[in-house]
């Protein structure tokens, strides 16, 4: 399997790093692009060096290399993930504005009707953010905000990050054992349909 991974400058660099680690452990070929602001965020938010992050990928491209292999629709892959996705990146994709390699590779992914997954990291969201995300969802982009699932009772940030990465892998159709799957509530009382409380 071969995927393109973009790290934009939004907070949440650890999501992208953990995605790369999971792909490496699963022998998934990764083609990585890291924006200039993502490099800053990695240094600010994590203990990873840039060399360590780049070392997790099979191939690394400068974000200004508009002639890179992944900029062409003839480059075949199984999907692209932008994790985290800044609102600038979301806006660029929603309006077809491709001024760097992350934007171009994602635009190509959409036009070739391949799987595109965004992990948008911003809060609160205003109407323009929401409209841009809706535009992308309407053309088939999977939107996976980093919202923690608390039913697994996570006790570390790492567990919360892993759950999100697992959901991204699910969207790509990747088999993994990063999380325990929901199997229902044992001996749950009959309370009627959910949503009535």
pTM of the predicted protein model: 0.92
Domains of the chain in start order, with CATH, are 2-171 (3.40.50.1950)
User: Binding site annotation covers 158?
Assistant: no
User: Binding site annotation covers 87?
Assistant: yes
> Which pLDDT tens digit goes with each residue over 38-81?
999 999 999 999 999 999 999 999 999 999 999 999 999 999 99
Q: Mean pLDDT, to the nearest integer, of 119-126? A: 97
87-94 and 127-138 helices, crossing angle to 10°: 50
User: Binding site annotation covers 115?
Assistant: no
User: Binding site annotation covers 9?
Assistant: yes
Per-position DSSP letters for 122-174, written without gaps between them: -SS--HHHHHHHHHHHHTT-EE---PPPGGG---SHHHHHHHHHHHHHHHTT-
User: Binding site annotation covers 167?
Assistant: yes
User: Binding site annotation covers 27?
Assistant: no
User: Binding site annotation covers 88?
Assistant: yes
Kindly report the average pLDDT of the chain as a whole number: 94
């Amino acid at each position: 399997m071969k995927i393109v991974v973009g790290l934009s400058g939004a907070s949440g660099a650890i999501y992208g790093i953990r995605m790369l680690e999971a792909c490496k452990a699963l022998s998934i070929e990764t083609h990585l692009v890291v924006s200039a602001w993502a490099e800053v965020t990695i240094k600010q938010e994590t203990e990873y060096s840039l060399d360590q992050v780049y070392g997790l990928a099979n191939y690394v491209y400068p974000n200004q290399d508009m002639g890179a292999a992944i900029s062409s629709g003839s480059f075949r892959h199984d999907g692209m993930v932008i994790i985290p996705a800044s609102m600038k990146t979301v806006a660029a994709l929603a309006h077809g504005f491709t001024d760097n390699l992350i934007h171009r590779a994602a635009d190509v992914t959409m036009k070739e009707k391949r799987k595109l997954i965004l992990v948008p990291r911003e809060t609160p969201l205003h109407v323009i953010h929401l409209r841009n995300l809706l535009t992308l969802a309407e053309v088939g982009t999977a939107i996976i905000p980093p919202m923690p699932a608390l039913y697994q009772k996570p006790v570390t940030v790492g567990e919360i990050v892993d759950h999100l990465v697992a959901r991204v892998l699910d969207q790509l159709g990747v088999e993994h054992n990063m999380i325990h799957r929901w199997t229902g509530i044992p001996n749950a009382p009959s309370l009627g349909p959910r949503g009535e409380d």
